Structure 1
Amino acid sequence: MNPDSTLSVIDQVFESITKSQESRLDLIIREKGNIRSVGEGIATVGGLPNVVTDELLKFEDGSLGLVYNLDEHEIGVILLDEEQHIDAGDEAFRTERVLGVPVGEALLGRVVDALGRPIDGKAAFRAATYLAVERESPPIMNRQSVDTPLQTGILTIDALLPIGRGQRELILGDRQTGKTAIAIDSIINQRDTDVISIYCAIGKQRAEVNRVVSDLQKNDAFENTIVLSASSSVPVGLQYIAPYAATTMGEYFMEQGRDALIIYDDLTWHARAYRELALLLRRPPGREAFPGDIFHIHARLLERSTHLKESGGSMTALPIIETQGQDIAAFIPTNLISITDGQIFLSPDLFQKDVLPAIDIGKSVSRVGGAAQLPAYRIASEELRLAYSQFEELEAFSRFSSRLDEDTLHRIERGRRIREVLSQDQFDTIDVVQQIALLIAVTNGLFDELDLSQIKPACRMMRNNIESELGNMSTKIKEGEKLEKNEEERVVNILRKLVDKKF
């Protein structure tokens, strides 16, 4: 054969191979393993030698799993979808990406699951971007002090336990003492502000979540709220990642320079979900069978809530914890108290006495305090707290003695009126000017001559008339300006005239 013709044939072969490769789509290299066992929300997978922790895996049926354990011969995976269609022997594929969720304006007014998928029966939405569920908390140098109040509309909290934008305030108490009610009222009070609210339900019954959504809709607070539901019926893996996903949704707005409020309801169930996963994955148990890093999973979650220096945005966290028998020294409550900037403790004893909200002021504290409180509150809040604390002690003491001096009787009667003023129904949020008026009235003894049965009508009358009576001073209070001494006296005189006129 002619050498030239041989070279020509070889050239033709190479040319045909090159054209064939160019005409085909690029090859996709996928690393795959096999499921060895599956059950109770977890799976073990063999193979995948290059997989990394927190990587997302995809199974044959399209469901997802999160890599958690990296052992020598197999990996432990947290299932993020139902396991009915996953069997031992099925293939598992690497995605080479971490778990992310959709964020942005499209989620407002929607109910989504822990993966950001809509579960409210409405049309699917198109999110602007996706962010990782696990993100680093902002460095200390990127944070600024908490100095702007987040008004909850609850008089006891705003006056005595003020919460600032960027703060982390724990709500804890026994079952059925009104913890969720405080959180929902706090969201409702943001309806006329620029604050974006996120309600994260962990381990709740679906009926409870539906009730929360209904309450928000009735009070016109749902359009600026995202509800993320990881109910008790979903895989435990979704319950575990739910608070991190909700935090990522809030961080998007915080990084845009906006203010967000996030409710974790509640982290007791989150801790139990993590304990269940850890035991199934055969991680060493510690105190109360919780794994050793139980503190870390909540610390890294709550440290992401802060007030940013560069953008000026903030994210305020109100985590909820359920106690047993008022034991705030238990393992999980102690952990959360040490992480957060204060706590609001709800007492079942007060709840049974129909003192609502059932906040035990003596066991509650806000470590930010007056730094995030409007100046007008300081006229009355310090004196109010002292008077109420003395009243609680004297009331307990008076049960053992029938003979009390005039000063003690006066303090007890004043305390009863303070308690009546602080009593507040759910959904009945009180704005700043009305709160200031009620505080000034009770601390200056304007209700001392009224019967206890007249306190509530007097408070309603005052709330209905105070803004029109104060005029420009109401604007001054809302804008955070300090009232001069003569203005304080004028407010007291206006309130006295209102009470004298009506009662």
Structure 2
Amino acid sequence: MTEITAQSIDAALRKQLDALNTSVESRETGSVIQVGDGIARVDGLKNAMAGELLEFTSSTGQVVYGMAQNLEEDEVGAVLLGDVAAIKENDAVKTTGRLVEVPSGKALLGRVVNPLGMPLDGKGEIKAEGTRPVEFKAPGVIHRKPVHEPMQTGILAVDSMIPIGRGQRELIIGDRQTGKTAIAVDAILNQKGKDMVCIYVAVGQKASTVANVQETLEKHGAMDYTIIVNASASDSAPLQYIAPMAGAAMGEYFVYNGEDGKPAGPENPGRHVLIVYDDLTKQAVAYRQMSLTLRRPPGREAYPGDIFYLHSRLLERAVKMNEQNGLGSMTALPIIETQAGDVSAYIPTNVISITDGQIYLQTDLFFQGQRPAVDVGISVSRVGGSAQIKQMKQVAGTLKLDLAAFRELKAFTQFGSDLDKATQDQLTRGAAMTELLKQNRFCMMDVYDQAVAIYAGGKGYLDDVPTEDIVRFRTELLEFLHASKPEVFDELAKAGKWTGDVENLTNAAIEAFKLQFAPTA
């Protein structure tokens, strides 16, 4: 029989007292003094926090959530995130003590959700592992390391000249209908089997457009590792405003936690995430609408003064973590739509200055049949060669110079007729390389295939191939090499760079292929 001592009684009582829930829920209650345009002005919430989740209860007992935005001297300006029509004047409002949060975890993979994490795909409830705040402070420079691993898009023009690294922020910018979403979707499809989680955030798109993207991803088996966050054109401005941040929060779960759901660290590596914001122009418009209805002063182009801060704190969340923090990464591909190619408008210049490079798509190139319609002249990657494998870096360096020289010459020789042989050769090479970069949708290329294709062009093997046959030449050459000369790729991968032996082997294989290649009559 155990002896009952004063200590054991004390310990037992303490244990029971600890188990008692003595916390008093401190929730303030206020009332709605004015409501309209999805905005509610609330009285009586002295201790509300900026960005706090507020609970509105209508006279019929319906609960609608809102978010505290303006903390003024005598009232709080809040935006409603649910059924706007349900809330009337004098309805009760309570603080929740929590910031706006979204569900996060593996249960969201393969699902289409709204910015609050509620399912839109009719596949039932989502049992999420936990929640993450929509607004989250980005990791400081101490927790990061420089971007150094490639994030292959499978698109020849991008991976060779505007390479994207894991943890980079690369802007896709261009007018409407120039193939911006196509590049982002191809990049998602190319992550199959590469241990990447992809998130596609659609802001202000038509529901049918998002359904098409979903269908494409399902058809190519990419929904298994993808989450779609959809705030469509028919959703309220506050939902469109928080959608990109909600997507980032869902992605951060994978970056900051390992496979087992525990915090990432040296022993428990974080995951890699690719997030597409399609598009931030519409988020800026939603934020402008929200701010103007909240009576915030308009600034340039009627946008509020903190619109730059909105996009910078969102894109700053893209990160490449260091070894102590599990080496996870989040790569962001924000999309911006320009009006008639005006890159110097307010929102485009803002986002260009935040990101680490931009892929600029041009309408003229698109209609000339150059697809993807990437303007190599003003597209850049500020991470550059650090985000490329050595084999690609060696052959792609000359490619950008060749194309730049070709563009200059082409403009210069438009009016002249008699050209010397060197100029003519340069024009032929430039035209061949430009044609080589054409690529259909959903035809992603492996990085070694890309390197060999560019090598063939750079060494002049395409100079005597008719322009209209170059894409077919590239496709058939790669098929021939994989079927008959796989050692080319094996040696290239093994050597880690283009050595003399690898070049000789590749030259011999390309020449063997050229002997059997039949140009179109």
**Superposition TM-score tier, normalisation by shorter sequence:** over 0.9
Residue 83 of structure 2: aligned partner: 82
Q: CA deviation at 1:470?
A: 4.5
User: CA contact under 8 A between 1:80 and 1:235: conserved in structure 2?
Assistant: yes
* CA distance in structure 1 between the partners assigned to 2:350 and 2:243 by the alignment: 20
**Which amino acid counterpart does residue 56 of structure 2 have in structure 1?**
F
* CA distance in structure 2 between the partners assigned to 1:95 and 1:443 by the alignment: 63
Q: CA deviation at 1:496?
A: 2.1
Closer, same or farther: CA 25–367 of 1 in aligned 2, 3 Å: closer
User: CA contact under 8 A between 1:169 and 1:341: conserved in structure 2?
Assistant: yes
CA deviations 1:439-458 (Å, max 9, x no partner) are: 01111111111111221221
User: CA contact under 8 A between 2:488 and 2:505: conserved in structure 1?
Assistant: no
User: CA contact under 8 A between 1:375 and 1:480: conserved in structure 2?
Assistant: no
Selected match of 1:345 from 351, 360, 374: 360
Which is worse superposed, 272-281 or 34-43? 34-43
Residue 215 of structure 1: aligned partner: 216
Cα root mean square deviation, aligned: 1.7
Identity of aligned residues (%): 44
Q: Determine if the alignment matches structure 1 residue 280 to structure 2 residue 331.
A: no
* CA distance in structure 2 between the partners assigned to 1:191 and 1:270 by the alignment: 29
Q: Determine if the alignment matches structure 1 residue 32 to structure 2 residue 47.
A: no
SS of the residue aligned with 1:223?
helix
Q: CA deviation at 1:471?
A: 3.2
What is the total number of aligned residue pairs between the two structures?
481
CA deviations 1:348-385 (Å, max 9, x no partner) are: 11011111000000010001000110111123111111
User: CA contact under 8 A between 2:336 and 2:348: conserved in structure 1?
Assistant: yes
Q: CA deviation at 1:267?
A: 0.3
SS of the residue aligned with 1:362?
coil
Residue 16 of structure 2: aligned partner: none
* CA distance in structure 2 between the partners assigned to 1:83 and 1:71 by the alignment: 22
Instruction: Summarize the alignment of residues 305-344 of structure 1 with structure 2, pairs less than 5 Å apart.
Output: 305-309=318-322, 310-344=325-359
* CA distance in structure 1 between the partners assigned to 2:176 and 2:430 by the alignment: 27
**Which amino acid counterpart does residue 501 of structure 2 have in structure 1?**
N
Residue 40 of structure 2: aligned partner: 43
Selected match of 1:303 from 316, 328, 335: 316
**Which amino acid counterpart does residue 196 of structure 1 have in structure 2?**
V
Q: Determine if the alignment matches structure 1 residue 59 to structure 2 residue 56.
A: yes
**Which amino acid counterpart does residue 37 of structure 1 have in structure 2?**
Q
Q: Determine if the alignment matches structure 1 residue 242 to structure 2 residue 231.
A: no
Q: CA deviation at 1:474?
A: 2.2
Selected match of 1:439 from 443, 451, 454: 454
TM-score, normalising length: structure 1:
0.93
Instruction: Summarize the alignment of residues 56-455 of structure 1 with structure 2, pairs less than 5 Å apart.
Output: 56-60=53-57, 61-256=62-257, 257-309=270-322, 310-455=325-470
**Which amino acid counterpart does residue 52 of structure 1 have in structure 2?**
M
Residue 8 of structure 1: aligned partner: none
User: CA contact under 8 A between 1:437 and 1:462: conserved in structure 2?
Assistant: no
Closer, same or farther: CA 286–476 of 1 in aligned 2, 3 Å: farther
* CA distance in structure 2 between the partners assigned to 1:291 and 1:24 by the alignment: 45
User: CA contact under 8 A between 2:491 and 2:502: conserved in structure 1?
Assistant: no
**Which amino acid counterpart does residue 90 of structure 1 have in structure 2?**
D
Closer, same or farther: CA 24–352 of 1 in aligned 2, 3 Å: closer
User: CA contact under 8 A between 1:51 and 1:94: conserved in structure 2?
Assistant: yes
Q: CA deviation at 1:398?
A: 2.3
* CA distance in structure 1 between the partners assigned to 2:394 and 2:516 by the alignment: 24
User: CA contact under 8 A between 1:351 and 1:358: conserved in structure 2?
Assistant: yes
SS of the residue aligned with 2:377?
helix
SS of the residue aligned with 2:63?
coil
SS of the residue aligned with 1:37?
strand
CA deviations 1:109-141 (Å, max 9, x no partner) are: 000000011111111120011111111100101
User: CA contact under 8 A between 1:41 and 1:79: conserved in structure 2?
Assistant: yes
CA deviations 1:22-60 (Å, max 9, x no partner) are: x99997554211111112121111111121111110111
Q: CA deviation at 1:233?
A: 0.6
TM-score, normalising length: structure 2:
0.90
Q: Which has the larger radius of gyration?
A: 1
User: CA contact under 8 A between 1:434 and 1:462: conserved in structure 2?
Assistant: no
* CA distance in structure 2 between the partners assigned to 1:312 and 1:467 by the alignment: 34
Closer, same or farther: CA 244–26 of 1 in aligned 2, 3 Å: closer
Closer, same or farther: CA 335–476 of 1 in aligned 2, 3 Å: farther
Q: Where does structure 1 lack aligned partners over 5 or more consecutive residues?
A: 1-22
* CA distance in structure 2 between the partners assigned to 1:328 and 1:225 by the alignment: 31
Selected match of 1:463 from 469, 478, 497: 478
* CA distance in structure 1 between the partners assigned to 2:298 and 2:379 by the alignment: 32
**Which amino acid counterpart does residue 67 of structure 1 have in structure 2?**
A
* CA distance in structure 2 between the partners assigned to 1:480 and 1:51 by the alignment: 62
SS of the residue aligned with 1:260?
strand
* CA distance in structure 2 between the partners assigned to 1:114 and 1:478 by the alignment: 43
Closer, same or farther: CA 226–359 of 1 in aligned 2, 3 Å: same
**Which amino acid counterpart does residue 40 of structure 1 have in structure 2?**
D
